[in-house]
Amino acid sequence: MKFEFAELPYAYDALEPHIDKQTMEIHHTKHHKAYFEKFTAALNDSEYADKSIEEIFANISKAPAVIRNNGGGYYNHNLFWHCMSPNGGGNPTGRLAEAINQKFGSLDEFKTKFNEAASNRFGSGWAWLCVKSDKSLSICSSANQDNPLMDVADCMGTPVMGLDVWEHAYYLKYQNRRPDYIGAFWNVVDWKSIGERYERLISQ
Amino acid sequence: MNLKLMLSASLLMAAFTAFSQSETKEKKPRVKPTRSQSTSASDRVNQRDRPHPLKPARFISEWMTPSSELKFNNLPYAYNALEPVIDSKTVEIHYDKHHRGYYNNFMAAVKGTELEKMPISRIFANISSHSSAVRNNAGGFFNHVLYWQNLSPDGGGEPSGELGKAINSTFGDFKTFSEKFSEAGKSRFGSGWAWLAIDLNTGELFITSTANQDNPLMNTAERRGIPILALDVWEHAYYLNYQNKRADYITAFWKKVNWPDVEAKYNGYKDMREEMKK
pLDDT in tens, chain A (204 residues): 689 999 999 999 999 999 999 999 999 999 999 999 999 999 997 999 999 999 999 999 999 999 999 999 999 999 999 999 999 999 999 999 999 999 999 999 999 999 999 999 999 999 999 999 999 999 999 999 999 999 999 889 999 999 999 999 999 999 999 999 999 999 999 999 999 999 999 998
Of B233, B184, B173, B228, give the one whose Cα is nearest residue B209: B184
Round the CA-based radius of gyration of chain A to a whole number and report it. 16
Residue A28 in any domain: the answer is yes
Residue A44 in any domain: the answer is yes
B272 phi, psi to nearest 5 deg:
-110, 25
- 3 state SS of B183: helix
Looking at beta carbons, which residues of chain B come within 8 Å of A166?
190, 235
Residue A79 in any domain: the answer is yes
pLDDT score at B52: 37
Q: Answer left, alpha or beta for residue A134, where phi above 0 means left and psi between -120 and 50 means alpha.
A: alpha
Residue A72 in any domain: the answer is yes
B101 in A contact zone (CB under 8 Å): yes
Check which CATH number belongs to the domain holding A84 and give it. 3.55.40.20
Residue A136 DSSP symbol: -
pLDDT score at B276: 67
Number of structural domains found in chain A: 1
**Residue B234 C-alpha, separation from nearest chain A C-alpha, in angstroms:** 8
**Residue B136 C-alpha, separation from nearest chain A C-alpha, in angstroms:** 8
pLDDT score at A155: 86
pLDDT score at B53: 37
B95 in A contact zone (CB under 8 Å): no
- Nearest residue in B to A145, CA atom: B190
Residue A5 in any domain: the answer is no
CB contact under 8 A, B235 and A166: yes
pLDDT score at B33: 36
**Residue B127 C-alpha, separation from nearest chain A C-alpha, in angstroms:** 16
Model confidence, pTM: 0.88
Residue A2 in any domain: the answer is no
CA distance A11 to A15: 8
The domain limits of chain B are 54-69+86-277
Residue A185 in any domain: the answer is yes
CA distance B162 to B122: 27
Looking at beta carbons, which residues of chain B come within 8 Å of A175?
93, 97, 236, 240
Looking at beta carbons, which residues of chain B come within 8 Å of A122?
132, 136, 212-213
Looking at beta carbons, which residues of chain B come within 8 Å of A26?
243-244
CB contact under 8 A, B243 and A26: yes
pLDDT score at B38: 37
Looking at beta carbons, which residues of chain A come within 8 Å of B98?
176
Pairing of strands A137-143, A125-131: antiparallel
Q: Which tens digits make up the pLDDT trace of A80-98? A: 999 999 999 999 999 999 9
- 3 state SS of B106: helix
Looking at beta carbons, which residues of chain A come within 8 Å of B244?
26, 30-31, 34, 168
pLDDT score at B244: 98
User: By a Cβ cutoff of 8 Å, what residues of chain A touch chain B?
Assistant: 26, 30-31, 34, 65, 69, 122-125, 143-145, 166-168, 171-172, 175-176
- Chain centre to alpha carbon of residue A58: 17
CA distance A114 to B224: 36
pLDDT score at B271: 74
Of A124, A171, A176, the CB nearest to B190: A124
pLDDT (tens digit, 0 to 9) for every residue of chain B, 278 residues total?
344 444 444 444 444 444 443 333 333 333 333 333 333 333 333 334 433 334 333 333 354 588 999 999 899 999 999 999 999 999 999 999 999 999 999 999 999 999 999 999 899 999 999 999 999 999 999 999 999 999 999 999 999 999 999 999 999 999 999 999 999 999 999 999 999 999 999 999 999 999 999 999 999 999 999 999 999 999 999 999 999 999 999 999 999 999 999 999 998 888 777 766 66
pLDDT score at A1: 65
Looking at beta carbons, which residues of chain A come within 8 Å of B243?
26, 30, 168, 172
- What residue type is B147 in one-letter code? Y
So what CATH class is B54-69+86-277?
alpha beta
